[in-house]
Amino acid sequence: VDITTRYPHVLLAQHLVASGAVTDPAWGRAFAGVDRARYVPSFLAENDTGWTACTDRERIAEDIPLVTQVDAYDRPISSSTAPSLMAAMLDALDVGPNMRILEIGTGTGYNTALLCHRLGDRNVVSVEYDEDVALLAYERLASNGYRPRLHVGDGAHTVHDGPYDRLIATCGFPTVPAAWLRQVRPGGRIVMPLTRGLYNGAIAVLDVSYDDGMVEGGFLPVFGGFMPTRTLGDLPHLPVPDLDSGERRPAKRGLSVLDCHAFAVVAALLVDVVRIPRGGPDGLAWWLHSPDGSWVCLDGGDVIQGGPQRLWDAIETAADAWSPGMDGPTLTVDPDGRHTVAWAGREWEMPGHGRTAH
């Protein structure tokens, strides 16, 4: 009897392989060799009274995300990602022997430890925004024998010792940070959550070209929701638009059009909005606000739109052009940081790429 199979994290690794989340045997060995509980000895579970610390070893070894830090308003700001999503991103990173990896968002250090296990700690550099979180990760990694270089700061900025072969981000950014275009070597790869206001579920897999400094790629077929970069700050205070100034018509599609991941990724690249659930007058449900003052209100079966653009028209037109199984969008970022999307024979500049916190 192989006694290691009694350990919850070995069972987790077996589950990830059996479910198909891990396809590369080397990542299977990494998940079996790194005990999540060493990096997440406790997590925060939400109940009626708020968040309470939980040390349930079985749950720590489940394929679920675990919140590890909340802010003063009880909003999660650090967590350990669901292992199957980590596996999908690590797989997409396409690492090879001796590659040097830059990780953005150290968090608990669990993903850092997997990278160290696979590539050696000298090849791993990780950046965490929150100093306390980084220190805890440092201590836990060191007590398990890993000494990767850890930096405290905003991972959107340049980290020395680049360029790297691969960059993996585990916090989301609304665009590809300009510094990353030079942080990754020609022929290298970036795997990152592209956290857009309309949809937080897109994971971009982007290759850096060998000759012209372009970065280009597509998106994972799986949903990957991540905490956005802490540099985004709070949502701006947005006034409730004057509904009478907008145009009302029956909506062809409701917000549920975003339930389909493959389409939601396209829609998120079309519009630059913040999406706000709002009770509002008459129980109006959802608002989309764009920085140019365009707005959408989905009111039961109707859509009301105002401002310079008809944002919901654009989403409905794309939904009409979409069908299951069609190719997903391609995102290209040129050396000047211009983001271009190509999809269904169309090409457009991704809105909002010049308007980010980094």
The residues carrying an active-site annotation are: 78
Contact status: 183 vs ligand SAM (CB under 6 A): no
What is the smallest separation between the CB atom of 86 and ligand SAM, expressed in angstroms?
7
Using the minimum distance from each CB to ligand SAM, give the nearer residue, 103 or 165.
Answer: 103
- Which residues within the stretch 68-127 sit at the binding site for ligand SAM (CB under 6 A)? 77-81, 104-105, 107-108, 110-111, 127
Cα separation, 171 vs 24, in Å, equals 24
- State the binding string over 254-283 for ligand SAM (x if CB under 6 A, else -): ------------------------------
Q: Looking at the chain, how many residues does it have?
A: 358
Residue 10 near residue 32 (C-beta atoms within 8 A): yes
Per DSSP (E only), the strands in the chain are 43-47, 50-54, 66-70, 76-80, 101-104, 124-128, 149-152, 164-169, 184-194, 202-208, 215-219, 247-250, 274-277, 286-289, 295-299, 302-306, 330-333, 339-343, 346-349
Cα separation, 42 vs 225, in Å, equals 22
What is the smallest separation between the CB atom of 225 and ligand SAM, expressed in angstroms?
10
Cα separation, 315 vs 39, in Å, equals 42
Size of the site for ligand SAM (CB under 6 A): 26
Using the minimum distance from each CB to ligand SAM, give the nearer residue, 78 or 309.
Answer: 78
DSSP single-letter state for residue 292: T
What is the smallest separation between the CB atom of 91 and ligand SAM, expressed in angstroms?
15
What is the smallest separation between the CB atom of 132 and ligand SAM, expressed in angstroms?
10
Among residues 24, 62, 94, 130, the one that binds ligand SAM under rule CB under 6 A: 130
Cα separation, 192 vs 171, in Å, equals 8
Using the minimum distance from each CB to ligand SAM, give the nearer residue, 80 or 123.
Answer: 80
Among residues 93, 133, 215, 296, the one that binds ligand SAM under rule CB under 6 A: 133
Using the minimum distance from each CB to ligand SAM, give the nearer residue, 150 or 303.
Answer: 150
What is the smallest separation between the CB atom of 39 and ligand SAM, expressed in angstroms?
7
- Which residues within the stretch 143-182 sit at the binding site for ligand SAM (CB under 6 A)? 154-156, 170-171
Among residues 61, 227, 255, 318, the one that binds ligand SAM under rule CB under 6 A: 227
Using the minimum distance from each CB to ligand SAM, give the nearer residue, 10 or 89.
Answer: 89
**Virtual torsion, Cα 81, 85, 89, 91, nearest 10 deg:** 130
- Which residues within the stretch 296-325 sit at the binding site for ligand SAM (CB under 6 A)? none
Q: What number of other Cβ atoms are within 10 A of residue 95's Cβ?
A: 21
Cα separation, 280 vs 240, in Å, equals 8
Using the minimum distance from each CB to ligand SAM, give the nearer residue, 133 or 296.
Answer: 133
Beta 76-80 vs 43-47: how paired, if at all?
unpaired
What is the smallest separation between the CB atom of 81 and ligand SAM, expressed in angstroms?
5
Cα separation, 171 vs 193, in Å, equals 7
Among residues 27, 31, 43, 129, the one that binds ligand SAM under rule CB under 6 A: 129
Give 47's strand partners: 50
What is the smallest separation between the CB atom of 278 and ligand SAM, expressed in angstroms?
26
**Segment interacting with ligand SAM, rule: CB under 6 A, options 13-21, 208-216, 223-231, 264-272:** 223-231
Q: Is 83 helix (H, G, I), strand (E, B) or coil?
A: helix
Using the minimum distance from each CB to ligand SAM, give the nearer residue, 43 or 199.
Answer: 43
Show the DSSP H helices in 94-187 as ranges.
110-119, 131-143, 180-183
Summarize as ranges the residues that interact with ligand SAM (CB under 6 A).
77-81, 104-105, 107-108, 110-111, 127-130, 133, 154-156, 170-171, 226-227, 229-231
